[in-house]
Chain A
Amino acid sequence: MPVDVDAVVLSNTQLSHDYNSVTLAAPQLADQAEPGQFVMVKATAGDHPLLRRPFSVFEIQRDGDGRATGFSLLNTRVGVTTRAIYGLRRGDRVRCLGPLGRPFSLATPPAQAWMVAGGVGLAPFATLATSLRARQVDTTLFYGGRSAADLFYADMFGALGVHVRLSTDDGSRGDHGNVTVPLRAAFASIDRGSPLRLYACGPTPMMRAVTDLAASEGRNTDVSLEQIMGCGLGGCYSCVVPLRSAAGTHFVRSCLAGPIFDGSAVDWERLGR
């Protein structure tokens, strides 16, 4: 059951001019959170901005006994809320409602898991990687950014036993090009019949490209969509995703049915943005 907490900021790590990660004290929320779920965040008091914003749960913090104490957000400043989150100080309070949404379906050995992240789309994969590695799933992270300065936490994934394949648009780290470059190479080296689950999160064009590439290899991709969302609880009908089925295309609320969707069922042309 989702809870609404006034979470205290424990730390704010400014990773670059644009990116930061904020750790929040919220044991009740963190304890319930499953990989892929999100939190509705109100980082500023008052009426502007008015609405909360959805954020993936990034890391779960635990104490020495393994009990959840809080969670972190991976943030990049683009608007009013994300600028406020970039500037948070230790001791500030942030309103957080969650966990919300349906989590990822976890791969099970012998299936491999490939997580494909673009930019801040890395966020849902820390908890996913932890859960997958706990099941001893052979896990690879394909992680792309604009340049080397935009790639973070590769070591953290490596420490979990995740294979990390980096790429940058400018070639300053990892493969030169977008994240489909190393992904395409990986498809070339895997047996078409061997079990594999794909997960993708990032800019919409990237998730679409990954879905299409995977489909051409006969694979489905679970995408974590980031629709503009008003409430997170199904009340406003703003965050809908057009999903194709035998009966035609229907608008489905991302907050309730998602944010994880089968990429091949998404009508990308009508997704908006």
Chain B
Amino acid sequence: MSVDLSVDVGGLRLANPFIAASGCFGYGLEYDEVVDLSTLGGVAVKGLFLEPREGHPPVRIVETPSGMLNAIGLQGIGARRFVADKLPVLRDRGAVVIVNICGSTVDEYAEIARILEDADGVGAIELNISCPNISKGGMMFGSSLQGTHDVVSAVRRVTTRPLIPKLTPNVADVASFALAARDAGADAVSLVNTFLAMAIDVETRRPKLSNIVGGLSGPAIRPIAVRMVHECRQAAPDLPIIGMGGIMTAEDALEFIIAGATAVQVGTANFVDPFVWDKLRDGLVAYLRRHAISSVAALVGTLDTTRG
């Protein structure tokens, strides 16, 4: 039985639902030797500001039970250099590129979106309004409904690309942020970014991260992320969702898809196993065959909450 893995996320067409998560896959080209980038559903590149950034000093990551904290601080080459140096190569490799952008101001988001509007090979724009590790920008916008509205609507005015705000889980009611994003013109939302967290070395009584706090990712957060995708799906059934949070296996991805995600992003798992992508696809195909479902799209949001 042939199964159709392709999905459409708010106008972004993907050959399969597995996207490399922003911040976990560099600019994609780091993996050129080990992964055929055209076999991924998409590549969400590391978050870009307008200008290059150095990020935080080490220590930048620390392991925690079934997860990790990071506070990288969005080290990056800036939007213009990305467009000049990385984007043409990604296009040549056949990658579907989702450009993750970040700004210290609403105007900076719009300025980057304008630069990307003139570039070839941008599949979609993911708005980073959820990075918990920077003093200005990121979660500063995404943790207020007004900030979410302001960034999304400002970028909507200047871009024709599919627009996908990435939501933070560090709010009381994530679904209200999905609605705010939708009402401001988002084509889809992606969730969740990392959970603001902290780890302490008790011997030295110092924080383990140089930034003191960081974002928690990995299997530890998965059940919370699944619940949040479910809530967004309930609140906005017509708004496509890209789900993420600790996906290590096809079965993990299926939880998100059944909860309502049209596609998923995979981040931390790629650190552990850069060859995870084939396993995810194979596992998804096997599941669909086993359940005689002809397409991934038909599975999205099919959660059965009736009492058996």
Contacts and interface: CB of A to CB of B under 8 A. Distances in A.
A binds B: yes
Interface of A: 1-2, 4, 42, 47-52, 97, 227-228, 230-231, 233-242, 249-251, 256, 270-273
- Greatest chain B CB density within 10 A among A52, A237, A242 is at A237
Interface in B193-240: 210, 218-219
Nearest to A255: B30
Contacts of A270: 57-58
Contacts of B285: none
Nearest to A81: B63
B292 to A, nearest CB: 31
Contacts of A233: 30-31, 34, 274
Interface residues of B, number: 36
Given A50-B219, A240-B55, A271-B58, A235 B34 contact: no
B270 interface: yes
A251 B57 CA distance: 8
Interface in B59-110: 59-63, 65-68, 70, 72, 75
Contact of B33 (A2, A52, A273): A2
Chain B at the A interface: mostly helix, strand, loop or mixed? loop
A273 B58 CA distance: 8
B305 to A, nearest CB: 28
B304 interface: no
Given A235-B31, A240-B55, A272-B59, 5 more contacts: A1-B34, A51-B272, A236-B23, A238-B60, A238-B72
A242 B57 contact: yes
A240 to B, nearest CB: 6
A210 to B, nearest CB: 20
A228 B218 contact: no
Contact of B63 (A50, A97, A236, A239): A50
A51 B271 contact: yes
Interface in B263-279: 268, 270-275
A48 B66 contact: yes
